[in-house]
Amino acid sequence: MSRFNLYQDEFHPSPWRQTWREFKRSHVAMAGVVVLAIFAFIAFFGPLISPYDPTLQNTDALLVPPSWDASGTVRYVMGTDALGRDLFSRLIHGAQVTFGTSVMLVLIAMLVGVAIGVMAGMSNGTRASVINHLLDALMVIPTLLLAIIIVAILGTGLVNSMWAITLALIPHFVHHTRNTVRELMNKEYILAARLDGASKTHIFVHSLLPNMIEMLVVQWTIALSVAILDITALGFLNLGAQGSTIELGAILADSVNVVYIAPWNIALPGLTIFAMVFAVNVVGDGLRAALNRRLRH
């Protein structure tokens, strides 16, 4: 008889730790996480790190090129715009608004959409099919168009455009949640849970939700990139953020006039938006792959 147990120290990682371990294997996804972390940091602490007040106009330094240009200056790292405002500070404040509002509105859209989708998926009959077909019909219209229509009704402004995009995103979540729930409800383990005497809420929390996370992550990242693009598009069209609110799309719209003499005013906000959307998509894809590997190795 051996006196010690060889396997005593065996370590069983929790599901989230397993997912994280799988996720770390993809370097591209890790780079995406770093970029996203930077944006999240900016969203929380942006005003603390911006060197200037983004609305401060310095008439002595109009259209100063970025610091890496021969005629640029270190005082304005990314140059200034036509009114002499520091572009770096404006980008930080703009990214804060764009990223923060997008994350928030996608969270709201997901909560509402998943709630409706689960109700539609777990019940059957007229109520379920009414919810389903009405909202499926709404999905025919692109979210941006739908958002523009809603903004036309509610009036322009950042908050109104947030509501508009939230409402436009909800049908997507409802549709995908309902389809997944419908598919899962036919599985034998749901019947087994029901035989154990599980209530509908219990089935949802303990049997459906763990199987839905993969779908939710994918939908969440798709919706987040859609939301970022829509918020900036509405801002660019002057339907979203107005006046003193600094938002990446609005910065683009402001700089269109000087695009030939000061291209950095377009290129840098554009690159920021690109980095944001790209990082979101890369992280979403990595997470989906990691969850997939964890569940079906």
Partner 1 sequence: MTQLLSAHSLTFSNVKPAWFSRQKRREFQLGPLDLSIEKAETVAIIGGNRSGKSLLAKLLCGAIEPSAGEIQFHQETTGHSKADLLRWQKRQVRMIFQRSSESLNPALIIGDILQEPLKLNTDQTAAEREERVEQVLVQVGLLRDHFFFYPHMLSDGQQQRVAMARALILNPSIIVADEPFAALDPSVRSQTVNLVLRLQRELGLSFVFISHNLGIVRHIADRIIVMHDGQIVETGRTDTLFRWPKHDVTKRLVSAHQSLVRQHQTHA
Whether the Cβ atoms of residue 87 and residue 263 lie closer than 8 Å to each other:
no
State the minimum distance, in angstroms, from the CB of residue 133 to partner 1: 17
Q: Is 47 in the site for partner 1 (CB under 8 A)?
A: no
CA distance 61 to 66: 12
Least Å from the CB of residue 111 to partner 1: 21
Residue 4 within binding range of partner 1, rule CB under 8 A: no
Tell me the β-bridge partners of 204.
none
Residues in Cβ contact with 271 at an 8 Å cutoff, skipping those fewer than 6 apart: none
Tokens matching residue 181 = 């729930």
Tell the smallest beta-carbon distance from residue 119 to partner 1 (Å).
Answer: 21
Q: Which is nearer to partner 1, 127 or 202 (CB)?
A: 202
Q: Which helix (H) or strand (E) holds 217?
A: helix 209-236
Query: Taking CB under 8 A as the rule, which mask of x and - marks residues 210-239 in contact with partner 1?
Result: xx-x--------------------------
42-66 in b/e form (b: 16+ CB < 10 A) is: bbeebeeebebebeeeeeeeeebbb
Smallest separation, CB 118 to partner 1 (Å) = 16
Which sign, positive or negative, has the C-alpha torsion 236, 240, 265, 274? negative
Residues in 178-217 that interact with partner 1 by CB under 8 A = 187-189, 191-198, 202, 206-207, 210-211, 213
Residue 63: strand pairing partners: none
Tell me how far CA of residue 8 lies from CA of 5, 190, 278, 279, in angstroms: 5, 35, 44, 41
- The SS3 assignment for 31 reads helix
The verdict on 129 binding partner 1 (CB under 8 A) reads no
Distance of closest approach, residue 126 Cβ to partner 1, in angstroms: 13
- If one asks whether residue 17 binds partner 1 (CB under 8 A), the answer comes out as no
For the bound state, the minimum distance from the C-beta of residue 288 to partner 1, rounded and expressed in Å, comes to 14
Residue 9 near partner 1 by CB under 8 A: no
Stretch that binds partner 1, among 7-15, 35-43, 168-176, 246-254 (CB under 8 A): 7-15
If the CB atoms of residues 75 and 187 are measured against partner 1, the closer one turns out to be 187
Enumerate helices (H) and strands (E) in the chain, giving the number of each: 11, 0
What's the closest the beta carbon of residue 209 comes to partner 1, in angstroms? 8
Q: Which residue has the tokens 């801002």?
A: 235
Q: Which residues bind partner 1 (CB under 8 A)?
A: 7, 10, 12, 15, 187-189, 191-198, 202, 206-207, 210-211, 213, 294-297
